[in-house]
Amino acid sequence: MEESGRERSSYQFTQIKIAWPVKGKIIRNFGEETRSYGTSVVSNGIDIAVREGTNVVAVDDGEVVFSDRYGGQGKLIIIDHKNGYFSLYAYNSDLVATRGAMVKRGEVIARSGMTGSANQASLHFELRKDGKAINPIPYFE
């Protein structure tokens, strides 16, 4: 398959670190978490507790490639940062940015909520590199 039409991934953001999508307490960490009775669940991102209706901002410049309801993610926005990374913002109460929109770092794209499988008002945030979920914490400013 020819890749001449595709740009190589730079893995560079507009700044060294990405912006936080919301300011709040992390209530669920990235990775495997052991629950009662020895069961475990894997989180592809982090959950940040915030009041419902809190502005959610783009962590960096990019194109909104998804803005709709999606199963357990609730109201979800996905941004393609055109550098090999995608950021996902879930559990929103309101989606501000629409599919196809070009957004800037710090721009309001949604309002936090409790949709999907959220059991408290929060934002579920994921960072994906080449489609694979990675721990976003080291990337934040």
Average pLDDT of the residues in 76-94:
98
Is the whole model's pTM more than 0.75, yes or no? yes
11 within a domain of the structure (yes/no): no
pLDDT band at 61 (very low <50, low <70, confident <90, very high): very high
Cβ neighbours, 10 Å, residue 73? 23
14 within a domain of the structure (yes/no): no
1 within a domain of the structure (yes/no): no
Whole-number average pLDDT of the chain = 93
Q: Range of 54's domain?
A: 25-139
Digit-coded pLDDT (tens) for 119-136: 999 999 999 999 999 999
Average pLDDT of the residues in 91-115:
98
Q: How many domains does the chain have?
A: 1
41 within a domain of the structure (yes/no): yes
CATH of residue 82's domain is 2.70.70.10
